[in-house]
Structure 1
Amino acid sequence: MGRNLALTLALTSLCIGLVAADWNILKQKRKHYGLKSSLKNYCESWRINVELNNIREFEVVPQECVAYIKHYMTSSQYEADSERAIEEVRLYLSSCCTLEGDGKDAWIFDVDDTLLSTIPFYKKHNFGGEKLNTTLLEEWMKESKAPALDHTFNLFHEIKNKGVKIFLISSRSETLRSATVDNLINVGYHGWSSLILRGLEDELTRVQEYKASARKRLMDEGYRIWGIIGDQWSSFAGLPTTKRTFKLPNSMYYLS
């Protein structure tokens, strides 16, 4: 009887030991890391599909991905991705274009998150995790404190110095003209040919239709538009098209 009890106790201790050995902090960390890794993969997939224009017209960034989007938009990877796009513009310009020198060679830049960064605003508004309050955004724009984006600042001046006319087509309201001009000049942009903003007649027009209409007017005036650079697909959509388009990364919001 005593021997049987001792044997039972020994086996019980062994089983408890095995269970304890199976649960250890390293394995729990691996399991936890696996969950994090899956969420990271999901959020990266979501971001890439925004950039590919597969995911459209979203009003907010998925809540589970807000921290990831924040990390990306303030990271060296965002800078590297943007710089890579700029390098492709330079490669294109090095071989694409025989400039006529007649004042009709042109390039189009978007403004927000192309020349000027709205990241300081979105830092205060959950990096796209909140539904956009247009009134608050325009109040922020009126302060004329948006910083220049380094990766396009130099490109802007390089293109201008080639003798190419630069047109800025923004989805900003005409009421923001003075603040926008002040902001651009304050951070070092100058020498653009025209800043095109949305007037009252454009308020009910989708961004892509408004921008396509602005391109058509320029082409009707005889301008050869060698390319467009912007952070939204609506900057490129619709007819007429240009010879090339270059998309900068931005997964905080979507303008259609």
Structure 2
Amino acid sequence: MGSRHITETGIFMSSFAAMVFVSGLITVGVSLLSLLVALAVMLHSCESRNSGVLEMHRYKDNYEYCRYFALHAELNSLDADSLPAMCRDIDRLYVKEGQYGRDLNITVGIAEEFFGSVRPQVDSRDIVLIDADDLTSETLFSYYLTHRINEDPLHGNSRDPDYLRYTFARKLYLKLQSDGWPLILFSRKPEKLRSAMAEYLISMGCPGWSSLIMRKENQMQMGFQEFISGQRIILQREGLRIIAVISSRMDALRGPYLGNRMFKFPSPMFRHNMENHVESQSREE
């Protein structure tokens, strides 16, 4: 029997070369994997960005719809139940995203521009009517009545609508006071709370008003629009000149003798409608 030789063909590779080759394959694999991850992240980012843009457009459309709906509700003194449910989320974003603060700042700027062009006459008969309830809120005033301490539980809370409204209303109040305008405040609270209200306003940094108009017990059944309109008539008959009325509520900005200008602080949609509802309930009780 003869011997049989088998010849195997292949590529001879040293262990070092094999290690380099395998390392290269691993590097290429890692690079491809990194590229795939990067592409996935970019695609996700694009989707999120497009989703954000669509969400922003949707928010703006809904906001405009809710804003006009709320305006008509406020003009007609409708309560919060008249507003669509989707407007609740829009209302929260209105405050949270800072638009409410910007609107308040614009209102103060418009008022300051007007008062920068006029001056009170020397006979001291020019007056400005300011809604004292914009310098406080039911929550803050109730807290003060309970604790009787000069402490603001909402201090620095830039996302609370009551605190924002108070901050800008006080800014305008102090500006008018420093310019020498006689200020007459009015409130929807009853006369029996006059002392507490006066103390509270002073504690919140709003002293120096000329007078504070509040309803007596037998006037609480009267709608506030009717009441404050009657008070403006009395002021006119006393020879006072109403230069402006400043409020966040429509009931103070209707009726006769509203002066040369009216300035309305903006309100969150559900906030002013809830206040209207509370006002109507207080008349029924």
TM-score normalised to structure 2 length: 0.64
Structure 2's unaligned 5+ residue stretches are 1-43, 156-162, 280-285
Partner of 2:88: 66
Residue 57 (structure 1) aligned with residue 60 (structure 2): no
Alignment check: 8 A CA contact 2:186 2:213 kept:
yes
* Matching residue within 110, 115, 133 for 1:88: 110
Residue 169 (structure 1) aligned with residue 186 (structure 2): yes
* Matching residue within 78, 83, 104 for 2:125: 104
Q: Distance in 2 between matches of 1:162 and 1:175?
A: 32
Q: Distance in 2 between matches of 1:186 and 1:101?
A: 30
Instruction: Give the letter for the 1:226 counterpart.
Output: I
The superposition leaves residues 33-81 of structure 1 with CA deviations (integer Å, 9 ceiling, x where unpaired) of 8688546523442224434677532221543222221232344211111
Q: Distance in 1 between matches of 2:96 and 2:245?
A: 24
Q: Distance in 2 between matches of 1:62 and 1:179?
A: 38
Alignment check: 8 A CA contact 1:141 1:176 kept:
no
Q: Distance in 2 between matches of 1:215 and 1:190?
A: 22
Structure 1's unaligned 5+ residue stretches are 1-24, 122-136
Alignment check: 8 A CA contact 1:40 1:68 kept:
no
Cα separation, partners in 2 of 1:179 and 1:48, compared to 1, 3 Å = farther
TM-score normalised to structure 1 length: 0.70
Alignment check: 8 A CA contact 1:174 1:198 kept:
yes
Instruction: Give the letter for the 1:102 counterpart.
Output: D
Q: Distance in 2 between matches of 1:94 and 1:105?
A: 15
Q: Distance in 2 between matches of 1:181 and 1:79?
A: 27
Cα separation, partners in 2 of 1:226 and 1:244, compared to 1, 3 Å = same
Structure with the bigger percentage of helix: 2
Displacement, 1:195?
1.0
* Matching residue within 225, 235, 239 for 1:218: 235
Alignment check: 8 A CA contact 2:243 2:259 kept:
yes
* Matching residue within 218, 223, 244 for 1:227: 244
Displacement, 1:248?
0.7
Equivalent position SS for 1:241: coil
Cα separation, partners in 2 of 1:225 and 1:183, compared to 1, 3 Å = same
Residue 253 (structure 1) aligned with residue 272 (structure 2): yes
- Equivalences, count: 214
Equivalent position SS for 1:253: helix
Residue 191 (structure 1) aligned with residue 186 (structure 2): no
- Say which structure, 1 or 2, has more relative contact order (CA 8 Å, 6+ apart): 1
State the Cα RMSD in Å: 3.2
Instruction: Give % identity.
Output: 23
Equivalences for residues 126-165 of structure 1 within 5 A: 139-140=142-143, 142-143=145-146, 145=152, 149-165=166-182
Alignment check: 8 A CA contact 1:142 1:180 kept:
no
